[in-house]
Structure 1
Amino acid sequence: MKIHLFVLSISILVFGGFAFSCGKSNYQEAPTIINSKKLNIQFEYYELGGSEIDTIGYTIFDTYAFADQDYLLVFNTRNRQIEIYDLSGRKRLFAKPLRNFFNTTDYGEILGVHFYSFDSIFVSQERMVTILDTNTVLRQIPLNVPEKRKWSSGGTAADLMYLYDPGTLFPIRYDPKANGVLLHSFCIGCGGENKKYFHSPIEALVPLEGGAIEYYPISYSKLYLDDYYGFAKHIYRITVGDTSFISFITDPNIYGIDRREKEKFVIGGRSPSQTKDLFPLAKKHKRDTEEKMNHLSSIPLYRDIRYDPHRKLFYRFFSDYQPIKNADGTYNSFGDKSLTLLVFNESFELISEIDLGKYKYISNKSFVTKDGLYLSASHYKYPERSNKKLQFDVLKISVP
């Protein structure tokens, strides 16, 4: 793929020549290439409500574009329905109870979705992948069958791998070339603090026609091999063609892997607005939920990434450091963190940063259409937040 090959050549050249080491694991931060541009930026409010929505709340969703129309599929947690909205026409097209399609008693709750087309909607549960259209279930593929989830590399973790879809962070995706679904994988038998856990592969392909699960040779950032970061273990992944781009919440780097060639690369993605370096948490707090939450609420965080094929841009959300206790004696929580949008061109040069402020947007509910980057105005502290309508600010960017 053109995008990947160009980025790969740049990142290897830069990473090989200028990266520096830090710590026992030989962690290397790739330098961020800054090529500042004065962007044309416009925010346009979008709302869909009224008679189209009775009540809505969702964390699991995906979009699909066809014939110049954009569609949003959500799993509405308030009324337990699967719903499809025509964003362009501002109307709801489809709504059916989840029980019509899914057995949550035997296979677990719905975890993620890939809206590949109206005829191929891929839905993951803990023990099942279901393929459906808007009328019926077309096919089901069992997940986490012990004899099929061996990880051959390393030996000691055999039979202990687990496939999981953490929703919008690392969502299920259908790979048409491999005819399989891509899912997050982790070593369930290794223990979440063990180095084996961080060495195990984090992405796998489940073939739709049977056969062995393929585990890709990419694991956690080496930052996790040296220090303890408590709750800060989130992984964010997007797919662009044959390439998976991965962001770890503690790491400025963006990692990539060509799933065909099994080639890995690293790209610098640090925010110039970061005011304080990442710091670990003492392991003595590993069973202290409050300390781990305070740590997560305080440290700088590199969050969701998105690709905009219409403008050939990558977006990355960032939240800077904040103290737990302010000078005036008040305290901060995770919900008080600021949000910044980093904008990269296709060569992964950082061309701009946009301050998105506080208390309005939820980054993991953002998505891209031909109209721009939809920023969900659904922060729990946003005073105009409503469960009766979909609310977004559509960020429209053009590069002169």
Structure 2
Amino acid sequence: MYGIFKMSLSSKIGQFARFFILISLVSCKNDAEQKSLIKSIAYTVDTVRINLDKNQLYDYPRFSVFKTDSIDYFYGYNQSLHRLDIFSLTEGEFINSIPLNTDGPNAVDSPFDFFIYQPDSIFLYGRNYSLDIINDQGVVVAKELLPLSRNSSGVGKQKVGYLSHSVHFKLYVDSASNSVFFHSYSMESILNKSVYYEVPILAELNLQTGKVKDYPFHFPDSYLLDGEYLGEYMNPNIVLSDSLIIFSFPNSPVVNVYDRKSGKLISRTIESGFSINTVKSLPSETYSEIHLRLNHLIENPYFYHTVFDPYRNLFYRTHRGEHPNPDLSLGNLNFSQTKDYLTVMDHSLNLLQEIELPAHKYDALSFFVTKDGLYFPYTHYLNEDVTEDKLEFHVYKFQIANED
């Protein structure tokens, strides 16, 4: 019930978020302040446009990228036709579609998210909370791989469920450990109650043994204060990249990188020079007043997830700045006056550069990395240049200039 509510609000109003923190991990030095390196980063911006027919979409909010040595593929979920559309980002063309079934033994639900393990092994986590595997013909080869719920470790042993999300915590399958990662959440409380935030929020399911491992990542103490909550800042940002777990909090400029192989944690406060870096809380009694929660979301900055670029050894983070004139006496706020920013960091999370992105052009939440660069979908809902006959991305290519 609560999981469905959490995922129901529109991605075009900001992709709502929850806040969490790490405790009890073996970690390396945790710097309280950001470390900024003065370097010149040259970059170019290329455009990838793919022609579409009437059955394909110019915007795929739920997608997965599959990379080979020569070609990078973009899989997008086509909700209206209940299928996966496949494009070559490298060649700039549509490849084919995988039809999904709604009835019979091969039926799968509309996905929260999906992961391309191999072209003939696609993990799909449906909105019926079933983790299934389909092949490249849409045939279900494995079904209901995940228990619907379990008792969590840690305080209270609460009953928890599992979620994946196309932006905040994408489904991830690790071939080395034969496991799949999920965001776990309390099924015993609601989002404006402190008890909701007491459970570990990241779980790893071993597909061979069926055992579940909780990572000791928790919401911070500020979420355990009765009478306060952070409105729509409820979803943690979690990205897995090989052995790295990259996580952050939407109301905080802190970026954390945990290496599963070494057990080490790097944590840096990478503050923005373009926006404020803090978010105020709301009284818990405002939980049922959605317009207040949305105004609060627009009024304050929102820090999105961070991704690793293994080809250039860089990290990228985006965030939305605060509203410049949050005067509610003039009516409810909207996103037309907010701006998005890109922060570039080196492999140790040292700040290299912060860039103001073109206003209202990109979906700044759905960016991803390939060997060709950092891809932004050209699909902001206020973008007047969007055309429905093109799937378009702008690709940022960074190169650190040689120092004298």
Residue by residue over 1:265-318, the C-alpha shift from the partner in whole angstroms, topping out at 9 and shown as x without a partner, is 532222122236321122332221111100001111111222111111110001
Q: Give unpaired runs (5+ residues) of structure 2.
A: 1-24
Whether 1:122 aligns to 2:123 is yes
Q: Which has the larger helix fraction?
A: 1
TM-score of the two chains, using structure 1 as the length reference:
0.85
Counterpart in the other structure of 1:224 = 223
Whether 1:186 aligns to 2:185 is yes
Aligned-partner Cα distance in 1 for 2:37–2:303: 20
CA pair 69-369 structure 1, distance change in 2 beyond 3 A: same
Q: Which aligned segments of 4 or more residues in structure 1 are displaced greater than 6 angstroms?
A: 100-105
1:215: Cα distance to partner? 1.2
1:39: Cα distance to partner? 1.0
1:195: Cα distance to partner? 2.3
Aligned-partner Cα distance in 2 for 1:334–1:93: 35
Counterpart in the other structure of 1:12 = 28
CA pair 287-324 structure 1, distance change in 2 beyond 3 A: farther
Q: CA RMSD in A?
A: 2.7
1:38: Cα distance to partner? 1.4
Does the 8 Å CA contact 1:324/1:331 hold for their aligned counterparts?
no
Count, aligned residues: 373
Does the 8 Å CA contact 2:54/2:389 hold for their aligned counterparts?
no
Counterpart in the other structure of 2:8 = none
1:324: Cα distance to partner? 5.3
Does the 8 Å CA contact 2:114/2:171 hold for their aligned counterparts?
yes
- Out of 47, 50, 67, which is 2:49 matched to? 47
Aligned-partner Cα distance in 2 for 1:180–1:243: 14
Aligned-partner Cα distance in 2 for 1:101–1:94: 22
Residue by residue over 1:171-204, the C-alpha shift from the partner in whole angstroms, topping out at 9 and shown as x without a partner, is 1101222211101111111322222321211111
| Bigger relative contact order (CA 8 A; separation at least 6) | 2
**The 10-residue stretch of structure 1 (323-332 or 222-231) with the greater mean CA deviation from structure 2:** 323-332
Counterpart in the other structure of 1:93 = 95
CA pair 119-104 structure 1, distance change in 2 beyond 3 A: closer
Amino acid at match of 1:199: E
1:119: Cα distance to partner? 2.9
**Partner-residue secondary structure (3-state), 1:297:** helix
CA pair 389-323 structure 1, distance change in 2 beyond 3 A: same
Amino acid at match of 1:46: V
Counterpart in the other structure of 1:157 = 157
Does the 8 Å CA contact 1:221/1:248 hold for their aligned counterparts?
no
Aligned-partner Cα distance in 2 for 1:113–1:94: 17
Aligned-partner Cα distance in 2 for 1:139–1:101: 16
- Out of 131, 134, 137, which is 1:132 matched to? 134
Counterpart in the other structure of 2:16 = none
Aligned-partner Cα distance in 2 for 1:216–1:304: 18
Residue by residue over 1:84-135, the C-alpha shift from the partner in whole angstroms, topping out at 9 and shown as x without a partner, is 1111112222213221799898x75311111222132211124211122212
Whether 1:380 aligns to 2:381 is yes
- Aligned runs of 1:291-306 on 2, under 5 Å? 291-306=292-307
Residue by residue over 1:355-399, the C-alpha shift from the partner in whole angstroms, topping out at 9 and shown as x without a partner, is 103211112221111111111110111011123221111111111
Residue by residue over 1:242-272, the C-alpha shift from the partner in whole angstroms, topping out at 9 and shown as x without a partner, is 2211111111112343445665553222212
Residue by residue over 1:219-254, the C-alpha shift from the partner in whole angstroms, topping out at 9 and shown as x without a partner, is 124442344211111221111222211111111112
Aligned-partner Cα distance in 2 for 1:277–1:190: 26
1:45: Cα distance to partner? 1.7
Does the 8 Å CA contact 2:87/2:93 hold for their aligned counterparts?
yes
TM-score of the two chains, using structure 2 as the length reference:
0.84
CA pair 192-369 structure 1, distance change in 2 beyond 3 A: same
Counterpart in the other structure of 1:24 = none
Aligned-partner Cα distance in 1 for 2:44–2:125: 36
Residue by residue over 1:144-197, the C-alpha shift from the partner in whole angstroms, topping out at 9 and shown as x without a partner, is 434xx221322x334x11011122210110122221110111111132222232
**Partner-residue secondary structure (3-state), 2:190:** coil
Give the fraction of aligned pairs with identical amino acids, expressed as a percent.
Answer: 23
Counterpart in the other structure of 2:148 = 145
CA pair 334-221 structure 1, distance change in 2 beyond 3 A: farther
Does the 8 Å CA contact 1:361/1:375 hold for their aligned counterparts?
yes
Aligned-partner Cα distance in 2 for 1:321–1:72: 32
Q: Give unpaired runs (5+ residues) of structure 1.
A: 1-7, 16-29
Aligned-partner Cα distance in 2 for 1:213–1:391: 39
Residue by residue over 1:296-349, the C-alpha shift from the partner in whole angstroms, topping out at 9 and shown as x without a partner, is 011111112221111111100011111454699586414542100000000100
Does the 8 Å CA contact 1:313/1:343 hold for their aligned counterparts?
yes
Does the 8 Å CA contact 1:56/1:78 hold for their aligned counterparts?
no
Aligned-partner Cα distance in 2 for 1:336–1:138: 48
Does the 8 Å CA contact 1:276/1:321 hold for their aligned counterparts?
no
Aligned-partner Cα distance in 1 for 2:103–2:73: 20
**Partner-residue secondary structure (3-state), 2:218:** coil
